[in-house]
Amino acid sequence: MKFISWNIDSINAAVEHKSVRGEMTWSTLNEIATIRPDVFAIQETKLKSTGLTKKQATAIAELFPEYHLYVNSSTARSGYSGTMVLSKVEPTQVEYPTIGAPGPMDLEGRIITLEFPTFFLSTVYTPNSGSSLIRLPERGEWDDKYREYIKSLDATKPVIFSGDMNVAHQEIDLKNPKTNRHSAGFTDQEREKFSALLDAGFTDTFRSLNPDTPSVYTWWAQISKTSKINNSGWRIDYYLVSDRIAENVTESCVIDTGARQDHAPILLEINV
263: annotated active-site residue: yes
Q: Is 100 left (phi over 0), alpha (psi -120 to 50) or beta?
A: left
Which of these is catalytic: 38, 80, 143, 263?
Answer: 263
68: annotated active-site residue: no
80: annotated active-site residue: no
Which of these is catalytic: 9, 143, 164, 237?
Answer: 164
Which of these is catalytic: 70, 80, 125, 217?
Answer: 125
- Helix 20-35 to helix 54-63 angle, to the nearest 10 degrees? 40
**DSSP codes, 184-234:** TTSSHHHHHHHHHHHHTTEEEHHHHH-TT--S--SEE-TTSTTTTTTT--B
Binding site residue list: 7, 44, 164, 166, 262-263
Binding site residue list for Mg(2+): 7, 44, 164, 166, 262-263
Asked if 237 and 165 count as a contact pair (C-beta separation under 8 A), the reply is yes
* Furthest C-alpha separation in the chain: 47
Query: Where in the sequence numbering do the catalytic residues fall?
Result: 125, 164, 263
